[in-house]
């Protein structure tokens, strides 16, 4: 048989490639794991902002007041608890009051929602006149 019929990789070449890939994963994993809490906090902040916008829309559409409350590992809208996924050791609170009320006019009682994570926090400002939720940079 011609020599070209035996093309491929030797076992030694495959083991060297696997060793290099394992070393790369071993170096990258701790760096990615250290960023996980910040990513979870940012994801939770985006979800809470969307929930606030939905509460405002519900108040307008159903012509009634809708209340938002903070809680450990989640939040409550009109008494219904919503758990935040990937939000271990995360609390949602409201600065300046116990709740945020959204009115049928589109306005709100205003306030600031504070999400506290393990080592950081994110804030969402709720404008009283428009009722819009804005992530604070």
Structural domains of the chain in order of their starting residue, each with its CATH number: 36-136 (3.55.40.10)
Helices (H), the chain: 11-62
Tally the residues of the chain.
Answer: 137
What is the C-alpha to C-alpha distance for residues 95 and 76, in angstroms, rounded to an integer?
Answer: 16
Has residue 116 got a pLDDT over 60?
A: yes
pTM for this predicted structure: 0.75
% of the chain at pLDDT higher than 70: 90
CA angle at 109 for the pair 108 and 115, rounded to the nearest 5°: 95
Per-residue model confidence (pLDDT) at position 126: 94
- Label residue 133 exposed, middle or buried (CB < 10 Å: 0-12, 13-18, 19+): buried
Has residue 132 got a pLDDT over 90?
A: yes
Task: List 66's β-bridge partners, or say none.
Answer: 102
Question: Do residues 93 and 116 touch, judged by C-beta distance below 8 A?
Answer: yes
Which residue, among 42, 75, 68, has the nearest Cα to 131 in the 3D structure? Answer: 68
Question: Do residues 75 and 43 touch, judged by C-beta distance below 8 A?
Answer: no
pLDDT in tens, 42-93: 888 999 999 999 999 999 999 999 999 998 888 999 989 999 876 667 889 9
Mean pLDDT rounded to a whole number for the chain: 87
């Amino acid at each position: 048989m011609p020599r070209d019929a035996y093309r491929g990789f030797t076992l030694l070449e495959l083991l060297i490639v696997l060793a290099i890939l394992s070393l790369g994963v071993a170096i990258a994993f701790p760096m990615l794991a250290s960023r996980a809490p910040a990513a979870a906090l940012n994801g939770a902040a985006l979800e809470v902002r969307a929930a606030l916008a939905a509460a405002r829309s519900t108040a307008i559409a159903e012509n009634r007041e809708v209340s938002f409350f903070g809680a450990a590992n989640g939040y409550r809208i009109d008494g219904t608890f919503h758990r935040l996924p990937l939000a271990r050791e995360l609390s949602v609170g409201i600065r300046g009051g116990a709740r945020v009320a959204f009115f049928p006019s589109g306005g709100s009682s205003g306030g600031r929602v504070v999400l506290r994570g393990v080592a950081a926090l994110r804030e969402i400002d709720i404008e009283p006149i428009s009722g819009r939720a804005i992530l604070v940079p």
